[in-house]
Amino acid sequence: MNVAYHIVGVVAALWIGFSGYSLFSRQQFVVEPLEQYGVPRSWWNPLALAKSAGALGLVVGFFVPAVGIAAAVGLILYFLGAAATTIRAHSYKTTVFPLLYLAPAAATLALQLAA
């Protein structure tokens, strides 16, 4: 179980970290939907920071379990909020994308608690 936790945790951290980087660097595939959903530009850096901090927290969680748990819970809440944002914007076809990021964060949390 410990090996699975580390593998899933690293993959989740890399994937979510890339998402944070993509928002920081204003990649079109991230910026375009945010504009369509009506997310204010003033929120973009804090949102990118939250994703990046969560990804880093997943890795720190290998050494300080409480940080990993907090990071995973924070990321789960973040991506639930992102899914709610897509629903609020009536962009139902894109609701799956935040859930695809939520899944590895939730899996990391479950594996960490089981380890």
**Structure-block tokens of residue 60:** 């720190």
pLDDT score recorded for residue 19? 97
Q: By CB neighbour count within 10 A (0-12 exposed, 13-18 middle, 19+ buried), where does 91 fall?
A: middle
pLDDT tens readout for residues 23-82: 999 999 999 999 999 999 999 999 999 999 999 999 999 999 999 999 999 999 999 999
pTM for this entry: 0.94
Query: Rounded to whole angstroms, how far apart are CA atoms 46 and 43?
Result: 5
Q: What is the pLDDT of residue 31?
A: 94
